[in-house]
Amino acid sequence: MFGTQNTYEVYIKELDEEPLLEKTIFLKEGFSISAFLFNFFWLVYHRVWPLLAVYFAFSIGLKLIQIQFNMGEEFFTIINLGFLFWLGFEANDWRGQTLRSKGYALADIVTASNEFDAQKSFFERNQDLIKEI
């Protein structure tokens, strides 16, 4: 009952032919554990191409530095782990920027314990957006 409250940004794409629910994305703010753990796959799945390019450039650059200066695997692991934490903290912000570049607009900010409750709260407050089928 007194669970953690999360903040969700609500993005809506302006296309009349699609139902509202299918063009509405709820993006949780804060650390993304899935981006941290499944970084490459998360970036490809969400099509965050600029951050994927940064990911590749960083990984290749770090490996080249490790080889050039004959540094141990511990150095590579520690620096890479730091980068993955940064990625986890920044991933949803970059995803929001990607959504805006694809024609989505920030419609609302909702606080709820989970995504389902965020959807419920948003649609209850914005019943005028719901089109009759």
Rounded CA separation 125/51 (Å): 34
pTM of this prediction exceeds 0.85: no
Distances (CA, A) of 1 to 33, 96, 127: 24, 29, 26
pLDDT value at position 18?
57
CA distances from 78 to 33, 63, 64, 66, 89 (A): 18, 13, 16, 12, 17
Question: Given pLDDT bands bounded at 50, 70 and 90, which one contains residue 15?
Answer: low
Chain segment 38-86, per-residue pLDDT in tens: 999 999 999 999 889 999 999 999 889 888 888 888 888 899 999 999 9
Residue 100, both tokens: 């805006």
For the ranges 2-6, 16-20, 29-33, 97-101, the lowest mean pLDDT is seen at 16-20
Angle, helices 73-101/49-68, rounded to nearest 10 degrees? 160
